[in-house]
Each structure stands twice: as structure tokens, then as C-alpha cells.
Structure 1
């Protein structure tokens, strides 16, 4: 018999392995997690949870509370100011419309009784962050479209659960009428305002005043969030998810100095919990559930995807200042996630116990909707968004912080090679030369909230901080490391880079030193004034790295390697701390005196301003 410790390790290992496999092969992570859960549960029986359904549901709720809190922290009021009209329609008008249309479809197409249809319609209101947020990470949507989907998913999760609770109470509570429903709704709102809103503000206030030591802030928050969820549920049944979402929203917008650290710790925990929950819940299904599905179920699922969602979006955004293409994408993208599955697991058995026999279909039908929507929307969101002009076609490019003659020269060469370049600077006059060269620019502070909400950088995947301030470069690299991945964050070498190791910035405090330890801001600009140029050289089977280096001389003194373009057009920046090999088919990017010594037939030379010769 498998011990609890062994079972926990299997679930954790399988969940995180599924996350990695999904990232590696470019498949929506939820698809792999559900498949893993089904394999470990109904198919092989490896994962068999012997907990009573009530206890398991309670544990699932605690996990979901942390995921929703993390989602609330990711919501920025600055985003709401930009897309507030659309978000308001999606979160105020959207849920009741989706509930109405979903219930009608469940009754007339799904063949369910009206009470069960009403509960199922409420359950499927949610388009949760457990699915939406992972999809957004890989879809490269623009800021506005991404904000609409993110706000809708996070806000509608607790709204859908609360709507399910109120519907269930109306159907099963003796004497339950409009007055009782309004009282329950008022209790949930009050619990969210006091425990979530006021509790979140008080927690942030105490953190800001140093009432909790730094090393305890994240652990305290990890425990406090489930406590708020539990206490809220005691105050009003199933009000906990709404409370923790409000708590996350409040703390995420309090401008706490350590907000990013707190959010990062919660996000890491959410990834683990997401891996566990999407394996545990599918494992609860068994073969008997499959016999409950029929052609009525298939019609209902098709109606949810092809009729209910488009009709909901069309009516909810009617007359709203939302772009047509955003409406088209929203009408298609509505994957259901862990909250829908957990809610169906709670109320399905409860409705059966209350005398509604067809309620045993709630869990399998909900899982079928989850699988279909995750597969359909997960595999098409990127393609459809690109077709509608709402997402970057690829993420092969470079964001350069700091406009200068050298960075403009480098950007011009990359642009000639069809590599996306975005140049950012807080001084408008420094961007003049780049604008004249046709380079995409952003005027603003890269570390500002304005840039966070408006800078469209989904088409670039490398960062180079190239200002004349070494320590600002290091600060910007650390701030943007999570966005790009620390292995793709570079800065110009610092002036003391060639001194003793203990006297310079450590790698944990900066980005990778780009190009060469001697490639400081002063060095690059001095060499540019001396006539050095950014140039390119194509490698072939007969002209490779050894021939190239023999011709160029001593690297660091006679020339600098800047990076390379692979045979399939992908950019790589070179760093002594993160080197790579340039094979045949690659194009080398280098900085050297002009004219170069002896030009190889395959070489393409650039001028001082980065113009590539034919």
C-alpha cells in the first residue's frame, strides 16, 4: 500500500514534470496536467485519494484561495484605467448573461432538469486564472487584450462561485426566497470588504511599517491567505474566494516596497499548487462517470463554445469602447479551469443528496467542458490573436535601454537583418537619431508603472541595458529579469569589471556582461569615434569560426564579438559568462575597425551607423 508521503511525492513530481514538458514542447500546460491526472487516476490507479469528498474539497479550496490571491496581486489599477469600460462590461454584465444562456443550453440541449441546469450554468460562468494566466504567458498578446482576458478571468472566478452558492441555496434551502438570497449576497460582499479589503490593507500597512521582519513576510502571507479564506467561509458560505481576490487586489496596488518579492513567492507557490490540483481532481474521475455522457452532453458542450460565449460577449460589450478584434478574440477564448472543477465536485453530490438525481452529471460534464475548452482555446489563442493583429508574430528581438550613437548603430544593423529592435530612453532628444533611422522607440522610464502598462515588448526576448550608468543598468536588469528570463538579460560591462572579483557587482546583482569584459560604455563609444563599425559575417562550411578569428586578430583588443543570428533567424547575444558556438549557417555580429582587414566573399560589412552593405 502506498504511503501518503510517496503519494505526495508522485503528485508533486508528476505535476512539475508536466509543467516542464508543456513548456518544452510548446503545449498548453493545462492539457498536459489533465492528461497526467487521468493517466495516474482512472487509467492506472496510481493516484487514489482515500479522503472523504468533504475533506478533499476543503483542501482544494485552500489551494485555489492562494492561486486567486496571486491572481488578484497581478491586477493593476493602471490597467483598469486603460480597459476599465471593457472590464466592467465583462465582469458585471458578462456573468449573468453567461449564466442565463448556459442554463438554457444545459436544459434544452444537455437534457438536465432546470435546477441542475441553473447550477451548471453558474459553475461555467468562470474563466479562471488557473488556465488564462498560463495561456497568456505563451500567447504574446498586446497589453490591452491581455488585460481584458486577465481581469475577466480573475474577477469572474469568485463571482461564478458565489453565483453557484446563491443558486444552490435558493434550490435547497426551505423558505429560501429573494430576501434570503440578497442577505447571502450582502454577507459575501461584507466579508470580502472587511476580511479581504480591510484585512489586505492592514497587512500591507503593517508590512510597510516593519511590524513583520523581512524573512517572515512571505511565509506569513502564505498562511494568512488561507486563514482569510477559511474565516470568510465561516462568516458566509463560499465567500472565501471573493475575499482573497479582493485582498490580493488591495495589496497588489498598495505600492509596497517589497511587492514584487511577495508576488514572486506567491506565484511560485501557485505554480506548485496548480500542478497538484490539476492532477488530483482528474484522478477523482472513474469509468462510471463516462457512462453519464451522451449526445446531449456533446450538443451542450458545443453550444457553450460556439453559441453561449459569443452571444455573451456580443451583448455584454454592445456599445462599449472595445476594439472589434478584441471582441472577436474574447468571443472565442473562455477556457474553464480548476475552480469550475472544484465547484462541480462540491455541489454535484450535494444536489444528488437533495434529491436531484441528474446532478451526478455535473462533475463529468464540467470536466468535458474543461478539456474541450482548454484544448480548443489553448491551441488556437496564439494563432487567432496573431491573425487579428493582437499578438506578436514571434518573440525574436532585442530591447535596448539607453539611446546613444553606439546603440543606434547596433540597432540599425539588427533591423537590416529583420530582427525586431525596441529602443527605450527617458530623454526624448536622445531618441531622435533612432527615430530617423526607422527604429521602433519608446519614450519613457523602463522602470516606471507607465512603461509596465503601456510598453509593448511581447515581440522581443532579449534585454540589453546600455546606458552610461553601470548601476542603473544593473537595476534595470534585475527588475526585468523575471520578464525576459535571467539568461536573456545583459548589460554593458562595468568600469571595474577587470578588477578583483570581490570588488565588482556579483552576477546575482546584475545582468550578464554583454560581449566582453572590456566592453564598457566608454570603450564602445571611444572605438566608435575611432572608426569602428558594427558588421556582420556569414559562416559557411568552408569559412567558419577558426578562419574568421584568424583574420580578425585578438578579440577584445582588435575586435569584439557581439552575438549571432542562427540559420533560422534567431538572435543570440554573446557574453563571456554565457558563450555559444557559431556554426555554418550562422551570421556573426561583431564590432571592429572599418574597413575590416580582408573581406571574405560571404561577408557583409556595416557602416558606422549600422547600414549593411550589399
Structure 2
């Protein structure tokens, strides 16, 4: 197979695996590893033809970009909130895990002390390449998600450094003095090159020294340059340097930070897809034959002994909830960095006289597969069981506390749909608080709200303030978080001949309900006696019957949304239509006189003078109809 065809196969297989994982609700890493094993040892389709050293160097470039993107996502505001836990996980946790892992590798797996020490250092890492996609799918609360994210990103380069220094101690000599000196040099190199690199690129961007269309490419190249120069200064200091660079750059107050981070996230998805296909595909059958019952016992010890004891010792006396400690004690998936490091040091240790180092790569790979499967499949259920994650995403975030949005929120609450009202004016939230509606006081676009507001249980956004352009700004800012197809705003009022002056769909959210349902009209009709009502449809009283009973759309009534038989809410928009069937509950806005239309059989109308809701478009639902 030609190089171009091989690249195409890897890219297509990786992204297809990501899509399949999203459709069936499995962690993407699980599907990617399975695909890599099928295309590599299973069928022999992927044969790269690289030496192990060359492959490790190429993998290192990809991991450098991934770690930089992870570093950009580390916010100092998170450290101020859960810094007590982060410090313990990144300062106390690695040495404890290293010592326990070394003991387990020697006494249980039967490796020599030298190889055991290298393996123990390698398994310190928890891997942002694995943990970040898992966090995205599990919908964890902010505190435990921040702890796992910081641990994965910071410990990854620290684990590599520990492995490098241990390897140098075993093969080069020089004693503990040389080893500690190497550690100090690596930290200094990372602080100087990483910190200067992140600040310098930000300084250039802020002053317009780089044009907009070149900023993302320049940033990628600068990350790789810092990684390469750092490795020249101190072996394997590059990963720590790019992590520091990402941390510095991500916390600069740059206008283009969000745009650049979104680009890096998309690039990371592609890199993860490629790396988790390529690395499993290179595993050989003879390497798998080196695995025996002692390796299985070692893996069990890593899962059930090393990790729990490390977390217990590192977090002893910390002001953390026991639920968070329990989650941390179980969740520690290893990723690409562990495999790449083992692939580099295994052959080198064999050449240095450590014959049992030939087992280093297959054991590490086995740990990666088992931890990814065990932790990837249990993170969500365990977190929900411990009360640390949203059980489901089925609710509406309403921005703007007004009389109409309060009525809508009440109606949704009556239908048991999660709802949260956000407003920057404390007084406007008074009526919602008195009605028992969950509220958040603060500017929705502020950094404080970003780090404190829990919205994982909500999957749709309705921005309904009286400022239509602010609504558009919020929808564009929060569109990537909720999905642009679940981001709505009230309609913009139109005057005669003003069609061309309106915002395009690329500049705003989807218009909720109807193009005529602007802020002023909704409140005017509410004052005229219109109420938000709901009716459950049946086979004998279907949607056509209800629509005919209510009268002419918009003139006599307006559809706001619907609740499917399974309880999922959908906000209605003429730009995203859907069909209501028997068993659905229609939510509409109509005059008080129409609150109880006559329905047949069990299709009794439920009229609630309160609220409506918006939620996700679930898989398998009917396509919107024109």
C-alpha cells in the first residue's frame, strides 16, 4: 500500500471510529484501540515501515500538540477553586505511585528492580489523550473534572521525566546526584522555554505582529519548536515545556484565545484518531505472547491496590469530599505517552543488559487497554452513582429573567424538565427564586460563570433578553458548548424593508418558535392573557386535531416545543421543525380561553399557566419536517 493510501486509511478509520463511538455512546478510545488491533495484528493492513525510534519521535510530535492543547485548558481559576487537591495529585501522588508501581512490577510481575522502576515511572501518567475525551462524555461536575484533568495533563510529562531519569541512572550512571541534577535542569528548561514561548507568542499576537490567517499555523509550529529545543537541552523535557507553554498561553487575556483553542481542539481530535489507530496496529503477536498470569495479576494490583493506596496517601487530610476521593481512587486510564515511552526504553534497556525489558512494551500496552476499557466504561456510571455527574442532559438554560421566561420556566418545571434561569441583574431573578426555579446570578459570558456554573444536565440554550444583538452574541459564544443546533434566541423584530439589515444565521442562534415571536410580542401577548399550556397527544386526538382546534398558527396560538414519550424535550423553531406523534406532549402559547380543548379518550389536556422547555434532539428521532 502506498504512503498516501495508508495515510487515508488511518485518517478514515480513526474518524469513523470517533463517529461510531459517539453514535453508540462508548468512549472513543475504546473503539479506536479495537480498530487499531483489527487493522494491525488482526489483518496486517497497516504496516508503517518505520523503526521504533522514528515512530516514537513522530508520536512525540503529536503528543506535544495534544499536551499543549491540554495546557491551554488549565485555568488558574480552577486551581484557586480546587488547588488543594491539584497540588496533592501532582506533587504527592506521582512519587507514591512510582514507588508502589515499582514494588508491584517486581514482586508480582516478576521483573528486575531496574525494569520495574522504569515501568513504575511510566505508569505514573494518567494521560490527557485518554482522560479528556472521557470527561467530555461522562458529563462530570466541575470540581472532579478539574482534578482529573489537571492530574492527567501535569503528570504526563512528569511521568516521562521520571522514566527518563531512571533510565539514565540505570544505563549512563552518575548516581543520584546526576539524576536529581537532570530533574532540576528539566524543570528549569520547561519553565524558561515553555514560559517564554507561551508569553512571547501571546505578545506577538496581541500587537498584531502576526496576521489573523497565520496565527493558528504559527502557534502549532512554535509549539513543535519549543518541544524540539527543550529535548535538545534536556532529554524528554519537551513534553513538560509544551505543557507549561500551554498553561501560560491559555491564561493570557487574548481576544483570539477561544478561536485558537477551538482550532487546537479540532486538531487534537484528528491526532488522537491517528495515534490510537497507529500505536495498537504496531503491536506484534510475539509481544502478546509474553503476557502471562503474573502480568494479569500485576494489572489487577495496579487497578485495585496501587492507585487506591496512592490516592489515599496523597489526599489524606485534604478538604475533599469522600465521593471525589473514591472516584479518583478508581479512575486512572493510561494513554499514548505511556506506550510511546515504553516503546522507546524497552529496546534500549535490552541492549544495556536488562533482558526482561523486552516485556516492558506488551505489559504497558496491556495496562493501557485494560485501564481504558475499565475506566472508560465505568467513569460515567460511577460518577453518577456518587452524585458527581449529571444523570442525563435534558434541560434548558434560559438567559434573561423576564415575565415571559419565568412563565416558560414554570411550565417546563411542571413537566419535570430541568431548567435554569441566568441573569446579570439580581433583582430580576427575585420572582424566579420565589417560584422555586433554579437561578444563577451573574454575567453568562464572564470567566467566573464559566468556572462556577454547572450546565452539564442542560442540553439546550434559549437567550431571550430584550437586547437581540446580545442574544446573538451569547448564542455564538455558547454554541460550541451546547451544539449550534441546540442554541436558540428570540426572533429579531422586523420593520418594512429591513430584511437585509437582519443578522444572518451564521451570526446568531436559531430563531426560537417563529420569526414573529420577538421579545416585545411575547410579552405583549402574555399581558393580553395568553398562557403557556400543554396537551398530551393520543391516537384519537393527534397533532392535526389539536392544531385544528387551536386555530390559525401564530395568530391564535404558537407552538413552543414538545416532550417526547421518553421525556426528552425539544424546542420548536421554524428553522428546525419536527413532527409530533401520539404520546408526545405539545407545549404551546395560546389565550387563556383555549386552555382545555376537548380531547378524546385519555388525551386530556393539561393546561399549566407556567413554563416550557428546550432540550436535545435525541438519536433516532424523526427528521424535522417542512
Question: Is the pair's TM-score, using the shorter chain for normalization, greater than 0.5?
Answer: yes
Give, in whole Å, the separation in 2 of the partners of 1:418 and 1:78. Answer: 33
Cα distance in 2, alignment partners of residues 15 and 142 from structure 1: 29
Deviation per CA, 1:345-378: give whole Å up to 9, x if none. 1111111111111111111111111111111111
Aligned ranges 1:405-484 → 2 under 5 Å: 405-484=403-482
Question: Corresponding residue for 2:622?
Answer: none
Deviations 1:38-64 (A, max 9, x none): 000001000011012111111000000
CA contact (8 A) 2:396 2:418 kept: yes
C-alpha contact (below 8 Å) 2:560/2:612 kept by paired residues: no
Q: Is residue 325 of structure 1 aligned with residue 326 of structure 2?
A: no
The aligned counterpart of 1:136 is 135
Aligned to 1:171: 170
Distance in structure 2 (CA, Å) of the matches to 1:205 and 1:611: 47
Once the two structures are superposed, residues 467-506 of structure 1 have per-residue CA deviations (whole angstroms, 9 ceiling, x without a partner) of 1110110111111111101110000011138865432111
Moved more, 599-608 or 78-87: 599-608
Structure 2 residue aligned with 1:522: 520
Instruction: Give the TM-score, by structure 2 length.
Output: 0.96
Q: Secondary structure at the match of 2:217?
A: helix
- In 2, Cα distance between the equivalents of 1:148 and 1:195? 26
Task: State the shift of 1:581 in Å.
Answer: 1.0
**Matched ranges for 1:77-88 at <5 A:** 77-88=76-87
Q: Does 2:11 match 1:5?
A: no
- Over residues 236-277 of structure 1, what are the superposed CA-to-partner deviations in whole Å (9 max), with x where a residue is unaligned? 100000000000000000011110001011111110000000
Aligned to 1:272: 270
- Residues 551 and 598 in structure 1, CA contact (< 8 A), matched pair in contact too: no
Aligned residue pair count: 610
Deviates most, 502-511 or 61-70: 502-511
Aligned residue for 1:127, secondary structure, equals: coil
Structure 1 residues 406, 324: CA separation in 2 closer, same or farther (over 3 Å shift)? same
Question: d(CA) in 2 for partners of 1:299 and 1:270?
Answer: 34
Per-residue Cα deviation, 1:369-398 (whole angstroms, up to 9, x for no partner):
111111111111111111111111111100
User: How far, CA to CA, are the matches of 1:194 and 1:295 in structure 2?
Assistant: 46
Q: Residues 598, 413 of structure 1: CA spacing in aligned structure 2 closer, same or farther, 3 A cutoff?
A: closer
Tell me what 1:224 maps to: 222
Call closer, same or farther: CA 1:142–1:611 in 2, change over 3 Å: closer
Contact 1:497/1:517 (8 A) holds in 2: no
For the 8 Å contact 1:16–1:272, the answer to whether it is kept is: yes
| Partners of 1:161 and 1:122 in 2: CA distance | 7
Provide Cα deviations, 1:191-248, integer angstroms capped at 9, x if missing partner. 1112101111011011011110111000111111111111110111000000000000
Q: Which residue of 2 aligns with 1:156?
A: 155
The alpha-carbon deviation at position 435 of structure 1 amounts to: 1.0
8 A Cα contact 2:402 2:428, kept in partner: yes
Counterparts of 2:313 and 2:495, CA distance in 1: 60
Q: Equivalent residue for 1:41?
A: 40
Counterparts in 2 of 1:186 and 1:290: CA distance versus 1, 3 Å: same
Q: Deviations over 1:153-211 (max 9, x none)?
A: 1110001011110110001003x212211221122112111210111101101101111
1:290-301 aligned at under 5 Å gives the runs 290-301=288-299
Distance apart, 1:609 and its partner CA: 3.8
SS in 2 for 1:446: coil
1:587 aligns to 2:585 (yes or no): yes
Contact 1:566 1:586 in 2 (8 A): yes
Alignment partner, residue 577 of structure 1 = 575
Could you tell me which runs of 5 or more consecutive residues in structure 1 were left unpaired when the two chains were aligned. none
SS of the equivalent of 1:285 reads coil
Q: In the aligned structure 2, how far is the partner of 1:289 from the partner of 1:598?
A: 72
Aligned counterpart, 1:245: 243
TM-fit CA distance, 1:550? 1.0
> Partners in 2 of 1:65 and 1:502 — Cα distance?
46
RMSD (Å) for aligned C-alpha atoms: 1.3
The whole-number CA distance in structure 2 between the counterparts of 1:120 and 1:29 is: 26
Instruction: Specify the SS of the correspondent of 1:557.
Output: coil
Q: Which residue of 2 aligns with 1:24?
A: 23
- Say whether the 8 Å CA contact 2:197–2:222 is kept in structure 1: no
Q: Kindly tell me: are residues 241 and 286 of structure 1, through their superposed partners in 2, closer, same or farther at Cα, counting changes over 3 Å?
A: same
Runs of 4+ that moved beyond 4 A: 497-501
Separation (CA, whole Å) in 1 of partners of 2:495 and 2:271:
42
In 2, the alpha carbon distance for the partners of 1:406 and 1:196 equals: 51
Question: What does residue 495 of structure 1 align with?
Answer: 493
Q: Secondary structure at the match of 1:523?
A: helix
> Quick check: 1:552–1:597 contact (8 Å CA) kept in 2?
no
Is the contact between residue 138 and residue 379 of structure 2 (CA under 8 Å) also seen in structure 1? yes
Shift of 1:603: 4.0
Shift of 1:547: 1.0
Q: Does 1:53 align with 2:52?
A: yes
Name the residue aligned to 2:621: none
Quote the offset at 1:605 in angstroms: 4.0
Deviation at 1:549, TM superposition (A): 1.4
Question: 1:72 maps to which residue?
Answer: 71
What is the CA-CA distance between 1:608 and the residue it aligns to?
3.8
Which residue pairs with 2:605 in the alignment? Answer: 604
SS in structure 2 of the partner of residue 379 of structure 1:
helix
The answer for the alignment partner of 2:618 in structure 1 is none
Partner Cα separation in structure 2 for residue 570 and residue 600 of structure 1: 26
Where structure 2 has 5 or more consecutive residues not aligned to the other structure, the ranges are 614-626
Question: Are 1:541 and 2:542 counterparts?
Answer: no
Contact 2:409–2:610 (8 Å) recurs in 1: no
SS state at 1:106 partner: helix
- Paired with 1:193 and 1:598, the residues of 2 have a C-alpha distance of 69
Aligned to 2:590, what secondary structure does the other structure show? strand
Deviation string, structure 1 residues 440-460 (Cα, Å, up to 9, x no partner): 111111000111110011100
Report SS of the residue matched to 2:594.
coil
Tell me how far apart the structure 1 counterparts of residues 135 and 192 of structure 2 sit (CA, whole Å).
32
In the aligned structure 2, how far is the partner of 1:196 from the partner of 1:460? 37
